[in-house]
Amino acid sequence: MRYPLRFTCLAMLIGVALAALFSGVHAQEQTDLNAACIRNAQQLGLATLMYMQDYDEKLPAMTNAAAFQKVTFPYVKNKSVYTCPATQKPYTPNAALSGKLLMKVGTPASTPALWDPKAHSDGKFTVCFLDGHAKRVAKQPVVTTSSHPTGSPAKGK
């Protein structure tokens, strides 16, 4: 009677060890995807800045992801950068900025230029701001030309 009990305990210990191992691997994978997402967003922020430098401080077409990609691709030259590696969705550009002059934007450092269309598994969004920096935030930005990414989700999102 004791032999099956030992076997069951051993099987349970192995199962717990494997679960712990795989949860650690999954957590590291999510961390890596979040970091890759931030790098992609920063590259798109830099592409936006380079575009504005070439076009007299005018922002690129940002009405939708396809329009944004079309005009900024010469500065990026890698289509995979336009898609979030964690959600597999294209980043959403701030349509309110489309074609505006930079001097008409109040605070570029706090104005979201593009963001994840849906939250990552940790519930956060990656946001790239008009000055080129990117960070992870708890709430999806509101579509506006000058705001902090702390408002409620954009309409239609």
pLDDT at residue 88 greater than cutoff 80: yes
Q: What strands lie across the sheet with 92-93, from one edge to the other?
A: 92-93, 112-115, 125-129, 134-137
Q: pLDDT grade, residue 81 (50/70/90)?
A: very high
Report whether 119 contacts 140 (CB < 8 A). Answer: yes
- pTM exceeding the 0.85 threshold for the entire prediction: no
